[in-house]
Chains A and B, each alone.
Chain A
Amino acid sequence: MTRLPVIELRDATKAYPGGVHALRGVNLTVAEGELLAVVGPSGSGKSTMLNVMGTLDRPTSGTVKVAGYDVSELSDARLSALRARHIGFVFQHFHLAAGRDAVDNVADGLLYAGVPLKERRARARQALAGVRLDHRFAHTPNELSGGEKQRVAIARALVGEPRLLLADEPTGALDTASGEIVMELLHELNASGTTVCVITHDHAIADSLPRRVRFKDGEIVSDSRSTPLTGDARR
């Protein structure tokens, strides 16, 4: 089965000022519809690679293609538009806007994609229902549990129906039960066709995903796939 690549990294390197080589020639292709875990010790370059994949950062050298676009050919404004339409992010620390309710937080996921306010809110409610938070529409972040906050953040990432969802330790700040719900949601999202890339320190989570990419010192040291599961078995 030949599926189109959503992400292609070719000899991607990233050097920070001060001589830190966070990525040292990374080659990685992620195909449409994949669900992969990125694992590795702290400081090995996982977040750096995720930022490069998400076009928040540019590689020092090498080529990065996201959704078919060569990132080096796009201006900052076009990269922003690419993120607005095709990429969703989930962060370890949620990054929700304090004082604004769940619906408004999620609706902001569509703000920069040119969707009118009413539609943004309507789709935000749908997305919140999708993460099973339809009883928390009017709650502000400090009225939500950590797990609920992360579900709001996931709803914000998926409300724009991105082709690619990038999650940097989405369960890192959550207890096991909340983490399981979050992973369940990511599985569901993947089942509906979205490519999902998850950084995790949790071995159990990593082992439950069909593909695992292991990092060490800015390089991929292993890239393993489980025997493909059927869609039914994945649930």
Chain B
Amino acid sequence: MNNDPKNDPKSTDRPSDLKPSRLTPGDILRVGAVGLVARRARVVLSALGIAIGIATMVAVVGLSESSRADLMARLDRLGTNLLTAEADDDGTGRPVKLPKNAVAMVERIGPVRHATATADVDARVRRSALVPEERTAGVTTQAARLDLLSALGGEVAKGGWLTEAGERLPTTVLGAVAADRLGITRTGETIMMNDVRVVVVGILEPIELVPTLDRVALVGFPAAERYFGFDGHPTTVFERSTDASVEDVRAVLARSINPGSQAGIKVSRPSDALAAKAATDEGLTTLMLGLGAVALLVGGVGVANTMVISVLERRQEIGLRRSLGATRGAIRLQFLTESLLLSGLGGVTGALLGATATYGFARAQGWTTVVPPWALAGGLAATLLIGVLAGLYPAIRASRLHPTVALHAA
């Protein structure tokens, strides 16, 4: 519409023609950014509060999700269908012995697909004959069946596992921690078990499901009987069943091993320990989220403060804009947009920082990075909410400034 105002005012201009024009979204953003561009240092500082809050929350959620995802992946890989039955005491303090044929009895339980065992062996481990007998380096001896490694999903780091021939000879495979404590880095070295010189034929990777095995020197059952006076009774029976029947097997395991006195047998599920770790982390996650929320709140107060000051400082600009034809609504929108941009800037920076921190930390831990989209969306939503809350009051104040008063002071 070409309205040359100088032509015929009375016939063309009715009050109904005086509809205020709406600003385009682009103009709204541009006008909202004017105040930010002019005060960069202040903008950075007040956006920083929001950024720290959002970064904390995103990183906390990201790290806990990454660690949980990693745990789930590990559980998936290791399986949750492993149960152990361990000889305990019978309640009066007397140690219980599992029967020699415990493994065979467990294998007889229907859903059990695989059973194996270890046994405590009374053989003191020393690095060499020169070390006095009392100093055992914190490594104990256990007898292991040949199928133990595959049942636990363990891996050999160096050398090999016990063999058909090796399980009868004075040879040992060391757990990762045991090798470390004894200072063994290569296979072929010898250690002393009681007075027997034993050759290290292999060193294991850490066994995630049963970390106690990391601290032992494993020998074959036959060798244990032959060299260390071992009586052949297993101490711990391991079994894997189908996933669906784990609870059923758990219910009958002790009874199957020792129909007479199941009291002294402790049944447990090693994967539960890993799963419990995820639960303990949750408390910490909640605490950190709370801290992030406090930071966010402080950031929001910072933004509100900045906006109040901004309105006070820019009374003349507000008066000028009113004289140029800005409606109260346009002024309100300008300051609300400014507040939203300010907190949005903090939010986006914070989300990037949080995601980067998650990525860096997860990589260092060897996890795959998981930054859940809902955390980012939640952070953004929180940011926008803070922007509105922090900006509303200053924006309303700005819009209520009387144009002449605003223009007054020079």
Contact = CB atoms under 8 A, between A and B. Distances in A.
Given A78-B20, A93-B410, 5 more contacts: A69-B15, A80-B325, A84-B326, A99-B38, A113-B21
Nearest to A195: B6
A91 interface: yes
A111 interface: yes
Contacts of B21: 81, 84, 112-114
A136 to B, nearest CB: 20
Given A57-B404, A111-B27, A193 B6 contact: yes
Contacts of B323: 54, 56, 83, 89
A67 B327 contact: no
B34 A97 contact: yes
A162 interface: yes
A81 B38 contact: no
Contact of A109 (B10, B19, B324, B402): B324
A51 B326 contact: no
Nearest to B6: A193
B233 interface: no
B13 A68 contact: yes
B404 A80 contact: no
A32 B316 CA distance: 30
A211 B223 CA distance: 124
Contacts of A86: 5
Interface string B279-321: 0000000000000000000000000000000000000110111
Interface residues of B, number: 41
Interface in A99-121: 99-100, 108-109, 111-114, 116-117
B12 to A, nearest CB: 10
Contacts of A80: 20, 322, 325-328, 330
B373 interface: no
A55 to B, nearest CB: 9
Interface string B1-39: 001111001100101001111111011001100100110
B404 A56 contact: yes
Contacts of A114: 21-22
28 contacts: A4-B9, A56-B322, A56-B323, A56-B403, A68-B10, A69-B13, A77-B20, A78-B19, A80-B325, A80-B326, A81-B20, A83-B324, A86-B5, A89-B324, A91-B320, A91-B407, A95-B317, A99-B38, A100-B34, A111-B31, A111-B324, A111-B325, A111-B326, A114-B21, A114-B22, A156-B324, A163-B6, A163-B9
Given A57-B404, A113-B21, A163 B325 contact: no
B329 interface: yes
Contacts, number: 118
A111 to B, nearest CB: 7
Given A98-B38, A111-B27, A162-B5, A69 B18 contact: yes
B72 to A, nearest CB: 52
A76 B38 CA distance: 29
Nearest to B26: A117
B259 to A, nearest CB: 89
A179 to B, nearest CB: 18
Interface string B236-280: 000000000000000000000000000000000000000000000
Nearest to A93: B410
A69 B18 CA distance: 10
A20 to B, nearest CB: 14
A161 interface: yes
Q: Which 10 A-B pairs have the closest CB atoms?
A: A84-B325, A114-B21, A112-B325, A78-B18, A80-B327, A81-B18, A81-B20, A95-B320, A83-B325, A56-B403
Most chain B Cβ neighbours within 10 Å, of A77, A92, A93: A77
A161 B23 CA distance: 20
Given A56-B403, A95-B316, A109-B324, A68 B20 contact: no
Contacts of B26: 117
A35 interface: no
A144 interface: no
A197 interface: no
Contacts of A81: 18-21, 325, 327
Nearest to B24: A116
